[in-house]
Amino acid sequence: MATKTSSQKRSAKPAAKKATALAAPRSRQVTGSGDARFAEVIALIEKARARGYQAVNTVLVEHYWELGAYISGKIATAEWGDGVVEDLATDLARRYPGARGYTRPNLFRMRQFFEAYRANRKVSPLVRQLPWTHHLIILSQAKPVETREFYILAAIKERWSKRELERQIRSGAVLREAKAAKKVSPTVTQLHPTAIDEFKNAYNIEFLGLAADHSEANLHGSLLRNLGRFLTELGRDFCFVGSQYPVQVGNQDFAIDLVFFHRSLQCLVAFELKTEKFKPADLGQLSFYVEALDRDVKKPHERPSIGVLLCATKDDEVVEYALARTTSPTLVAEYQTFLPPKEVLRAKLHELYAQLVMRDDTLTNTRQTSGAKSAKVRV
């Protein structure tokens, strides 16, 4: 067998290294979460898993609804008492030792679940779209029927996680969404008839952990550092466009605190931040920014922009006067840096429902009066 000389061995090493380099993949980015080349495959898998989870949840909630209806019927006809439900839980535990959902408390929760929504034509078809854990939170923490309805619809629309749902209930989201409390200019409802449903009277940003004497710079910086959570608070149709968004008018440069795009309304939304109580003069600056966005930034297919003045506090009567004659599509909201006490929330909820009852009574009386008049005409 022929042996290689030392010079031949030296020349073979570079060739071997070159062959190895050619055989290796040209680009392989491996991150902490896996190989970047497989990102699309992972996305497909995660999408399928999410669909599978949703399908399982739908079947589970529908199953609990049926069980709740059955138990409710048996108890309503006095065929069953509490003791029978206890026996049922024991029997099911013996038959299905690995199943944890058929305990006595959970069986009574199924009954409560069914009885809470069976007469509500708007909500009952939608209950299958939320996980069972969401329903347990709503049933235990939101008592009035109208409040439960609000949180079910909002959780479905905004796709709130369990933690976010609990946070929204603690912060009194149902009060911040009350249409009667929202302060918008007439132009907003003229240009965007559904806009009042997309904005809140107040935004809770307690997750920022701001000090009581925070500045606008503190507020602005904290919102940017917690942008994901702020977007959740705003609503799922808000998309971030920019911070200190530059606009040029004439020879002067200006910067809008925050600019978003709203997918449903198909328009830009300018946010101006104020750490003080609302002053009517603040609307002039915001109207100017909205006009600049419409003239120089808005695309032809987009709808007119909206301005939101987000301030620390506001006097609703002063806001109403300030917005009454403005021709700019603007609205005023306040931000809250802490969760309100339960006693305050409870008092405000009672006040809200008292207003709703009065409104319903007025509508009923109006219908009855008009019906009596039409009957009189026919006679």
Structure tokens at 15: 């060739």
- In this prediction, residue 6 carries a pLDDT of 47
DSSP string for residues in 103-162: SHHHHHHHHHHHHHHTT-TTTTTTGGGS-HHHHHHHHHH--SHHHHHHHHHHHHHHT--H
In the predicted model, residues of the chain with pLDDT beneath 50 are 1-27, 30, 356, 359, 363, 375, 377, 379
> Sign of torsion, CA 144 145 150 151?
positive
Return phi, psi of residue 331, to 5°. Answer: -145, 160
pTM above 0.85, yes or no: no
- In this prediction, residue 1 carries a pLDDT of 46
- pLDDT tens digits, 283-306: 999 999 999 999 999 999 999 999
The domains of the chain, with CATH numbers, are: 41-172 (no CATH), 175-339 (3.40.1350.10)
- pLDDT tens digits, 232-266: 999 999 999 999 999 999 999 999 999 999 999 99
